[in-house]
Amino acid sequence: MSYQHIRSSVADRVATVELHRPEARNGFTVTMADELDAALAVADADEEVRAVILTGAGKDFCVGADLSGSSLEVTNTEPPEGAWVEPATRVTRRMFAMQKPVIAAVRGAAVGVGSTMLLPADFRLAAKDSRFGFVFSKRGIYPEAGSTWFLPRIVGLGRALDWMVSGRLIPAEEALGAGLVRSLHDADVVLDAARALARELVETTAPVSVAVIRQALYQMSALPSPEPAFLLDSQLIASLSLSADALEGVMAFLQKRPPRFTRTLAHDLPAFLPWREVTR
C-alpha cells in the first residue's frame, strides 16, 4: 500500500510501521492516524507477520498533534455525535484489538498523542534521551486515545494523576522506573534492540498462544472478579489435548531445540474466547 505520512515494511516476519514526517518531527495528522490504522490492520491480518515494530523517522518519535493543519478534525462548534472517532483512538483501538505483539521503539520526544498512542503496545523501548508528556492540561484540551484507561493500568493511578494533571515532561529514567518503558538504550541502537526482541518473539513463541494471552490480560484484568478468568482458564487448559502447539512446545523443551509451532490465527483460535463473541 502507498502511504503519505507513514512507511510500512515487512522483513523476517516482522512488520515495521514508521511515522514518517521527520521534517515536522512526526507531527500527528488525521492522515497519519488513518494510515496507522490501515497499516496495523494489514499487519494483523497477515499470517506471515508475527510481530510489529512501531517507530518514528528522524530524531523524535512524535511531538504531538500537528496544530498547523486539521489534525484535531474540529469543524463544528457542537461536539460530534454518532460514529465519529477522534484520530488517536483510531490508532489505539486498532492496536488494542491486535493479535500480534507490538513493540514501540522511541527516540527523542513522545509528547501528547506521541505518548498516548504508545500505551497499547506490549513493549516500549526508549532511547536514553527520550521524554514523554501527557501535556493536555497545559493546552486546555483533554487526553485522547483511551489513555485514561491505559495509563493507570501501566503505571498506577497515583502516577497517572501526577503525569496527566500536571502535564509535565517525563524523562526517560522516570518512565523506566514507573514501568512505562521496558528498557533504555543509546538513541542509535534502540531500533536494533526492538528488532532483536521481535526476532526472539518470532523464534520462540506460538502465535495462537500470544494472541490469547495478550487479549486475556486486557479483558480479564479489567473485570471486578477473577471468576470469568477461572472459567476461561479451565476451558483453555481442557483444550490443550487438541493442540499440536502444546505437544510441540513440550517436545522442543525436552529435546532442547527451537520450537516449530504450526497453529495459525486464521484457523486455530479457540472458538469459545469471550471477546470473540463481542467482536463478531
How confident is residue 280, by pLDDT bands cut at 50, 70 and 90? very low
Instruction: Specify whether 88 is located in the same domain as 190.
Output: yes
Within-domain flag for 147: yes
Burial per residue of 14-36, b for 16 or more beta-carbon CB atoms within 10 angstroms, e otherwise: bbbbbbbbeebbbbbbbbbbbbb
C-alpha cell belonging to residue 18: 514508521
Instruction: Specify whether 34 is located in the same domain as 64.
Output: yes
Within-domain flag for 1: no
Q: Which domain CATH number covers 239?
A: 1.10.12.10
Distance CA 171, CA 191 (A): 19
Within-domain flag for 97: yes
Single out the residue of 199, 19, 179 nearest to residue 109, CA to CA.
19
Residue type, 119: L
Instruction: Specify whether 239 is located in the same domain as 138.
Output: no
Parent domain of 215: 206-279
Instruction: Specify whether 198 is located in the same domain as 218.
Output: no
Instruction: Specify whether 38 is located in the same domain as 145.
Output: yes
**Digit-coded pLDDT (tens) for 125-181:** 999 999 999 999 999 999 999 999 999 999 999 999 999 999 999 999 999 999 999
Instruction: Specify whether 216 is located in the same domain as 194.
Output: no
Residue type, 42: V
pLDDT reading at 35 higher than 70: yes
**Digit-coded pLDDT (tens) for 189-226:** 999 999 999 999 999 999 999 999 999 999 999 899 99
Instruction: Specify whether 96 is located in the same domain as 178.
Output: yes
Instruction: Specify whether 185 is located in the same domain as 236.
Output: no
DSSP string, 86-105: -HHHHHHHHHHH-SS-EEEE
Q: Which DSSP category does 17 fall into?
A: E
**Digit-coded pLDDT (tens) for 215-262:** 999 999 989 999 999 999 999 999 999 899 999 999 999 999 999 999
Would you state the pLDDT for residue 67?
84
Out of 154, 186, 202, a domain closes at 202
Q: How many residues are listed for the chain in this entry?
A: 280
* Non-local CB neighbours of 245 within 8 Å, separated by 6+ positions: 206, 208, 209, 261, 262, 263, 268
Out of 150, 174, 202, a domain closes at 202
**Digit-coded pLDDT (tens) for 98-119:** 999 999 999 999 999 999 999 9
Would you state the pLDDT for residue 222?
86
Q: Based on the structure, what is the number of domains in the chain? A: 2
Secondary structure of residue 10 in the 3-state scheme: strand
Distance CA 91, CA 71 (A): 14
